[in-house]
Structure 1
Amino acid sequence: MSNKKRTVGLVAAVCIAAVAGGAWGGYHKYFQAYSPASRAPLAESADKLTPFQKSVLSDLNRQCASGIIYQDGYFSGGEPPPKIGVCTDVVIRSYRAAGVDLQTAVAADIAAAPEAYHIARPDPNIDHRRCRNLTIFFRRHARTLPASGPNADWEPGDIVFWDTFGDGQAHHVGVIANHLGASGAPTVTHHWPGQIVSEMDWLYRLHPISHYRWRQSDAARAPHSV
């Protein structure tokens, strides 16, 4: 094959990969630029964390150490196998470890307020694993806080949703961890397509559009959370 043909073939392959990856692929470079924050300074000392925050952080660390790979799919019962998952599973698993059953709570909230979710056929096996539904649920049952600026006031265990396509919708979600990245922002644990669950200096690498905080006292207001 001539050098010219090789060059044309390489360009074509790159273009195909870029189209296939879409908006997701453009952010993979940040996984190379920002490593997990295991040696970064703590954002909050352990004695200032609530039991809920400690439980969430402990499970986030477990997920990061487990090498969970990104794989979407529909799973009977609503829980993927332990070694696979998507971004929403980071939230679901860490909150479950802290005593909040988001699968049950989201299903109950959809049943109680179908007009808020606009779901023609509710399915408790998958509804809680969609960013769109989770952001509605947290908006209804958690505390809404600024997602940027000096009043954002991020704390460990907070939930952040990002708009990755520029359409103002929530496409990706993560949980605030307990380190400060090189950027000065709190680190966040999330699961990006093609990667494993990671704690990253990533908060403002995407466009955060919503910020929610869950307290143990909030559980009493959420249907069927435990």
Structure 2
Amino acid sequence: MKFPQYLILFLLLNSFATSEKSFYEKLSDAALVLTKDKVTYDPAYVAIQYPNGDVPKNKGVCTDVVIRAYRKLGIDLQKEVHEDMKANFSKYPNLKKWGLKKTDTNIDHRRVPNLEVFFSRKGTELAISENAKDYKTGELVTWMINDKLPHIGIVTNKKSPDGKRPMIVHNVGAGQVLEDCLFSYKIVGHYKYSN
């Protein structure tokens, strides 16, 4: 049986399109690549260029993992967060939490509470649950550690050793690592964001 040429072309293009990775799979891959870099946990305030500024490559905190992963996909969270904060400053916790009266391109995007506001405004805020299946590749999770330390990480396509939970790329003190820590801390936020 002979297929018309247009049908063969359609089938080839369709199979190529379905085999292409989604944005969220690419974000997971970008996060996994970051685990190869040796990074010392360092929350120090650093003056950085704007846009596309970054702290030194060998330093960082949890937010820097997210910022660097998105940057590998062409999204500059420093710029995106700054622009939204500049237009909507009162919606962000800066005045109340840090006493700031204006934006600061050096640090605003590196604060978990600001990222939570940004992702809920510009992305999709997802349900928080105790079911590991509710957390999908490329999503973002925020936690409150010991009721005082905000934290963020990226859900990857890698599974825990028992196969029950997605593993997370984050930096809670040991550098940019892949860990089975989804339910290790109190989850306070769950988001999905692509530009």
Q: TM-score range by the shorter chain?
A: 0.7 to 0.9
Residues 132, 165 of structure 2: 8 Å contact kept: no
What is the CA-CA distance between 1:59 and the residue it aligns to? 2.1
**Does the CA contact (< 8 Å) of 1:146 and 1:152 recur in 2?**
no
What is the number of residues matched between the two proteins?
Answer: 167
**Paired residue for 2:165, among 185, 188, 191?**
185
TM-score, with length taken from structure 2: 0.78
Per the alignment, residue 63 of structure 1 pairs with 34
Q: Which runs of 4+ in 1 moved over 6 A?
A: none
Pick the aligned partner of 2:181 from 196, 202, 213.
Answer: 202
Which residue in 1 is equivalent to 2:86? 111
Superposition map of 1:62-101 within 5 A: 62-77=33-48, 78-101=53-76
Matches within 5 A, 1:1-226: 47=19, 49-50=21-22, 52-77=23-48, 78-119=53-94, 120-150=101-131, 153-166=134-147, 171-182=150-161, 184-193=164-173, 195-215=174-194, 219=195
CA deviation map 1:13-65 (0-9, x unaligned) = xxxxxxxxxxxxxxxxxxxxxxxxxxxxxxxxx94840x22432232122111
Conservation of the 8 A alpha-carbon contact between 2:89 and 2:102: no
Instruction: State the shift of 1:149 in Å.
Output: 3.5
- Tell me, in whole angstroms, the C-alpha distance in 2 between the residues paired with 1:118 and 1:160: 19
With normalisation by structure 1, the TM-score equals 0.68
Give secondary structure in 1 for the equivalent of 2:75. coil
SS at match of 2:85: helix
Question: Identical aligned pairs, as a percentage?
Answer: 31
Contact 2:25–2:157 (CA under 8 A) maintained in structure 1: no
- In structure 1, what is the Cα distance between the partners aligned to 2:19 and 2:186? 31
In 2, the alpha carbon distance for the partners of 1:49 and 1:147 equals 26
Contact 1:70-1:191 at 8 Å conserved across structures? yes
What do residues 132-185 of structure 1 show as CA deviations (whole Å, max 9, x unaligned)? Answer: 111111111111111213496211111100011326xx7000000111113511
* Residue pair 2:159, 2:166 contacting (<8 A) in 1 also: yes
Partner of 1:19: none
Distance in 1 separating the partners of 2:32 and 2:161: 19
Distance 1:185 1:48 in 2: 24
Q: Unpaired segments of 5 or more residues in structure 1?
A: 1-45, 220-226
Q: Which amino acid aligns with 1:192?
A: V
